Structure 1
Amino acid sequence: MPRIKLYWTLQIVGWLAWLANEALIYVNSFGWSIDWFISADLNIAFAIFLTHNFRKVIKKYGWVEMPIRQVVPRILGSVVLMSMMMASINIPLDGYILREREHADFWSIFFFIQFSFSFMKPLMIWTLFYYASHYFERKSEIEVEKVRLESSIRETESKVLRAQMNPHFMFNALNSIRALILEEPEKAQKAVTQLSNILRSSLLADRRKTVSLSEELRTVEDYLALEKIRYEDRLQIRKNVYPETLTCQIPPMLLQTLVENAIKHGVSKPVKGGFVSIETKMVDSKVVIEISNTGVLETTESGGFGLENTAHRLELLFGADAKFKIYQASKDVVTAEITVPIPSQVVENKDNPFAKITHIVRG
């Protein structure tokens, strides 16, 4: 129901309910009278007139937004004023109906105060109900706006995080391709295609929240192939991938960032180079991805922007079900571990996973 229609429905029904209560009291005390029926109609019309204009005042001056200490005296003053106005109309009407014009007590200040107090109750109930409805409506709107703002912030953060591409890698990859053009043109052509694939994945990453693990691994393979041109035998690549994990969804370019970090700390620094290992497995209805490399974990190991935000990216997409940690797996091996939830249909297919494991070792 539209808000304005609901408002008028509650206005009319509410005051009719009040009138029904007053009618019982009046008829029991004085009996039925057509004059009283006319007086009651005028009462309802005047009460709706007063409260409707009071509503306009509340909206115009923003009383709903005011602190409680400021709005309470305004409400009380308004209710008292409206009660006195209602009493000013009703005393003459009742005096005419009951033929009490000549009775001095009927027109006394005490009788006026008594009449005013009798109208304060329904007017106060109307005001409290109006404020309560606006309070809960406003609270709901604030919660919706909060959710929208958080969603917008998360989407913005996610886009920024997905768009990360190390400029040093681009520079080194182009230099490696340039060195191949004359000596190994076919290999150079393949390297250009691989770099193009990486760039395309980077551009698409800004449009998608997640990609399948299989697609991400293809990007990582292109990345490692380009780095292999640069490091040659200094870079050893190992893979151990469960086919059942390939449908798992992860943030785009996430593995590429971790593999890049592994090469930076595990291959580029040692004179003899090192290895980068990618392993995926299923543990307790989750996919665990491990990126290992030669090296020793330092306090600055996770200081890069990409690693700093890996856990944050996973949390934005999967909440508390996703985990990220980086640790010293052995004396000279550092491992970055990602845990993400997997679709239910993948879990159902994990009977005897060791029979389906694939080992891919590329040097």
Structure 2
Amino acid sequence: MMVRLGNTQIGLFRYLGLWTAVVVLFGMQNFVADAMNGRTWSAWDYLRWSGIRWYTWAALAPLVFRLAERYPIYGSLRLRDLGAQLVASMAVTLLVLVIGAFVSTAFEPSNFDTQLRYFLGFYVATGLLTYWALYAVQRAVQFYEEKTHREVEASRLATELAQSRLRALKSQLQPHFLFNTLHAIATLLDEDTLSAEDMLLRLSDLLRAFLEDYDGQEVSLRRELVLLDLYLGIQRIRFKDRLTTQIYIAPDTLDCAVPSLILQPIVENAIAHGISKRVGMDCIEVESRREGDTLCIDVRNRNSTLQAGPASASGHGIGLSNTELRLRELYGDVAQVRLDMIWPEGVVCRLRLPFREIGEQDDAPEVASA
């Protein structure tokens, strides 16, 4: 069974336990006061006198909470609400005293009028203080609940905002990638129809695999490699013998969480700024490893250059800039992405993410373990 105090519910036994503690405390106080005057009564008498008063307040406390909710006193001190509470405090206190006097009549030799005068003479001030103490408790509980609700709502709104930003960033990548791929297919239609058809089928598989995970912001590295393998298959058809790929994946990183579609735009940048703009052959290498609590992913290409200085990253397209924004939204300052030159020629994009397993069981393409 539950006792409802405003919007708060408390178990009946716990509620009675709290008020019993008050009964015992004031019963002991009365005993000590009488003992100092040299005259005491039995323990039952002190508990009975204290219990009549405080259990009556226990019965009426839900009423006090409802009155506090209906007529709250704010900082502006509206006279209507203040007046309502003053009247309510006197009315409820009087009701408690009347009930206490009526109940005491059953245990005492004096009549109701005598008991009522006794209660009015000794317990009016205590009753008013009790009412206002209960009022203060109700307001404190309500303020705490409102504060908690605002914090939860603010957290929910912040989460929704972050998700909206991430969806917007992902949506920017899709048309960019589709345009490049469809352009390559259109070019191959006149040169190699079979290769164009193969590329179109791989594009269909890639889009289907991506749409299955569209609502998720994170996938396992294993799942991300499936998408990457489909994309690299398209690019190998496009560039034929000029492009080779190497995948080095540490087995303990396969189930680690990574942002979905994080590798494809990085590899696309590597191809766009390497073999697409420069003559000769190129090799795209993807490596993952664990370093403590960090997942390290490196994407290298051997046929591009990077000018010295921090401004060099600005020339590497929407993929890298969106990658930076997505990592910031998902992980804050914990994750990092940067571009470095590698010897004797080439560029490496280094991703550093918090190491956390996601527990997916997707089938991954065959990869060479480091």
TM-score (norm 1): 0.67
Q: Is 1:260 the counterpart of 2:268 in the alignment? A: yes
Matches of 2:113 and 2:256, distance apart in 1 = 91
Any idea what SS the aligned residue of 1:6 has? strand
**Residues 1:303 and 1:53: Cα distance change in structure 2 (over 3 Å):** farther
Matched with 2:347 is 334
The alpha-carbon deviation at position 324 of structure 1 amounts to 2.4
**Residues 1:53 and 1:211: Cα distance change in structure 2 (over 3 Å):** closer
Q: Is 1:200 the counterpart of 2:212 in the alignment? A: no
The alpha-carbon deviation at position 20 of structure 1 amounts to 5.0
The one-letter amino acid paired with 1:327 is L
Matched with 2:89 is 82
Matches of 1:113 and 1:68, distance apart in 2 = 34
The alpha-carbon deviation at position 258 of structure 1 amounts to 1.0
Instruction: Report if aligned partners of 2:336, 2:352 keep a CA contact under 8 Å in 1.
Output: yes
Matched with 2:10 is 6
Matches of 1:21 and 1:218, distance apart in 2 = 70
Among 121, 130, 134, the alignment partner of 2:129 is 121
Moved more, 177-186 or 246-255: 177-186
Matched with 1:171 is 179
Q: Is 1:324 the counterpart of 2:302 in the alignment? A: no
Matches of 1:102 and 1:222, distance apart in 2 = 93
Among 56, 62, 65, the alignment partner of 1:55 is 65
Matched with 1:272 is 279
Equivalent runs, 1:294-313 vs 2, <5 Å: 294-297=304-307, 298=311, 301=314, 304-313=317-326
The alpha-carbon deviation at position 50 of structure 1 amounts to 5.5
Matched with 2:362 is none
The one-letter amino acid paired with 1:279 is V
Matches of 1:240 and 1:52, distance apart in 2 = 68
Matches of 2:244 and 2:3, distance apart in 1 = 65
Instruction: Report if aligned partners of 1:267, 1:275 keep a CA contact under 8 Å in 2.
Output: yes
Instruction: Report if aligned partners of 1:281, 1:288 keep a CA contact under 8 Å in 2.
Output: yes
TM-score (norm 2): 0.66
Matched with 1:348 is none
Q: Which runs of 5+ in 2 are unaligned?
A: 360-367
The one-letter amino acid paired with 2:195 is K
Matches of 1:45 and 1:357, distance apart in 2 = 73
Instruction: Report if aligned partners of 2:206, 2:230 keep a CA contact under 8 Å in 1.
Output: yes
Equivalent runs, 1:16-35 vs 2, <5 Å: 17-20=21-24, 25=30, 28=34
| Partner deviation per Cα, 1:177-235 (whole Å, 9 max, x = no partner) | 344346533322211121112212331231444334344334334323434555567x6
Any idea what SS the aligned residue of 1:171 has? helix
Equivalent runs, 1:93-104 vs 2, <5 Å: 93=101
Instruction: Report if aligned partners of 2:68, 2:138 keep a CA contact under 8 Å in 1.
Output: no
Q: Which runs of 5+ in 1 are unaligned?
A: 346-355, 359-363
Moved more, 240-249 or 10-19: 10-19
Matches of 2:48 and 2:291, distance apart in 1 = 76
Instruction: Report if aligned partners of 2:23, 2:54 keep a CA contact under 8 Å in 1.
Output: yes
Matches of 1:305 and 1:342, distance apart in 2 = 27
| Partner deviation per Cα, 1:295-331 (whole Å, 9 max, x = no partner) | 32545627855433424534665676x5222233258
Matches of 1:88 and 1:181, distance apart in 2 = 93
**Residues 1:79 and 1:21: Cα distance change in structure 2 (over 3 Å):** farther
Instruction: Report if aligned partners of 2:64, 2:131 keep a CA contact under 8 Å in 1.
Output: no
Q: Is 1:282 the counterpart of 2:289 in the alignment? A: yes
| Partner deviation per Cα, 1:145-182 (whole Å, 9 max, x = no partner) | 44444444444444444455442442343343344346
Number of equivalent positions: 335
Moved more, 78-87 or 255-264: 78-87
Matches of 1:201 and 1:169, distance apart in 2 = 15
Among 194, 200, 213, the alignment partner of 2:221 is 213
Any idea what SS the aligned residue of 2:306 has? coil
**Residues 1:114 and 1:323: Cα distance change in structure 2 (over 3 Å):** same
The alpha-carbon deviation at position 51 of structure 1 amounts to 3.9
Instruction: Report if aligned partners of 2:341, 2:347 keep a CA contact under 8 Å in 1.
Output: yes
Give RMSD over aligned pairs: 5.0
Matches of 2:68 and 2:23, distance apart in 1 = 25
The one-letter amino acid paired with 2:140 is A
The one-letter amino acid paired with 2:134 is W
Instruction: Report if aligned partners of 2:219, 2:358 keep a CA contact under 8 Å in 1.
Output: no
Matches of 2:218 and 2:92, distance apart in 1 = 65
The alpha-carbon deviation at position 260 of structure 1 amounts to 1.7
The alpha-carbon deviation at position 6 of structure 1 amounts to 1.8
Equivalent runs, 1:228-239 vs 2, <5 Å: 228-230=236-238, 236-239=243-246
Matched with 2:249 is 242
**Residues 1:272 and 1:181: Cα distance change in structure 2 (over 3 Å):** closer
Among 183, 190, 210, the alignment partner of 2:198 is 190
Matched with 2:141 is 133
Matched with 1:350 is none
**Residues 1:185 and 1:274: Cα distance change in structure 2 (over 3 Å):** closer
Instruction: Report if aligned partners of 2:273, 2:316 keep a CA contact under 8 Å in 1.
Output: no
